[in-house]
Amino acid sequence: MSGSERIETQGREIGGPEPEMSVARVRQMWHLLEPLHAVLYYAPEAFDEAAKLGFAVEERWPSYFAWRAAPLGAAGAERVTSAFYSFSPRTVAEHVPAAWAVAGPERILQSRLRAVDRAYRALFGARLDGPELAEAAELARAAAESADTAGRPLAAANAALPWPESPHLILWQAATILREQRGDGHLAALLTAGLDPVESLVSFAAIGAAPTERFESRGWSSTEWASARERLVTRGLLDPSGAATDEGHRLRAEVEQRTDVLAAVPWRTLGEDRTARLADLLGDFWLTTITSGLLPSENTLGIGKV
């Protein structure tokens, strides 16, 4: 069984005037591409590049905020907090705008491509020069270039960057645009559901997506977490023990469904046949990535498990 076949593919159809694309296919593409993007935040080569710039690398957050926020330019803490959503403003303020005093956004963007280049070479070796990766890069770029970025600040910022020349870096940049396009849409779905940043995390933990401890890195205090829990109990989304009620599960399912619908345009544009071909091409690269030990086995996204 290939890597892509290990990812669940059941789901409803997304309707509309455009050709239909299953929710499951849209989510599958996210599951396949997200680990390929996330290598940047965990690979030793990326930490090495961050250290060369002058960032502390004892933990991943200084480089994470620099790598991910750099496409926005020298943005301030409020703008980054807004775009990242789930992080406490205090946590963001620890790293932004201080990151730009260590290295300017342009230098960081150049360095992050070097980091991905080195990390991908270590992961995939000679496969970087194979026809499969070149074809995958071409298809992923076509999808990324069709991504709607209106109202999506992180997607738009990454889409405005020049494309690199090497196929493996094109693949990574396409994965980045597509995951940020999906992420920006996810924030819209959370807002529509009436879930503020900390409520979003509390409700996600309550359905068992990840242990509560995994969300501590977002920087919310125990008081803020407890207050959010109480608000969700009052709304009938959590029971007094903090577990999601049926209504809480329903609302979170709606959020994920809406996120998939909002992320569907690139895949409808690419078409079912080419999207399926890209999924097949990505499968083995996905499998190599998630079995490499680079990414945490437990994460706040609920993806990346074999």
* Residues 101-121 pLDDT 10s: 999 999 999 999 999 999 999
What pLDDT score was predicted for residue 300?
60
Q: Give Cα separations from 83 to 130, 206, 218 (angstroms).
A: 36, 24, 14
* Residues 15-38 pLDDT 10s: 443 446 789 999 999 999 999 999
What pLDDT score was predicted for residue 210?
82
pLDDT > 70: what percent of the chain? 91
Task: Label each residue of the chain as H, E or C.
Answer: CCCHHHCCCCCCEECCCCCCEEHHHHHHHHHHHHHHHHHHHCCHHHHHHHHHHCCCCCCCHHHHHHHHHHHHCCCCHHHHHHHHCCCCHHHHHHHCCHHHHHCCHHHHHHHHHHHHHHHHHHHHHHHHHCHHHHHHHHHHHHHHHCCCCCCCHHHHHHHCCCCCCCHHHHHHHHHHHHHHHHHHHHHHHHHHCCCCHHHHHHHHHHCCCCCHHHHHHHCCCHHHHHHHHHHHHHCCCECCCCCECHHHHHHHHHHHHHHHHHCCHHHHHHCHHHHHHHHHHHHHHHHHHHCCCCCCCCCCCCCCCC
What pLDDT score was predicted for residue 68?
98
What pLDDT score was predicted for residue 301?
59
* Residues 157-197 pLDDT 10s: 999 999 999 999 999 999 999 999 999 999 999 999 999 99
Q: Is residue 144 scored above 50 in pLDDT?
A: yes
Q: Is residue 140 scored above 60 in pLDDT?
A: yes
* Residues 243-299 pLDDT 10s: 999 999 999 999 999 999 999 999 999 999 999 999 999 999 999 999 999 998 766
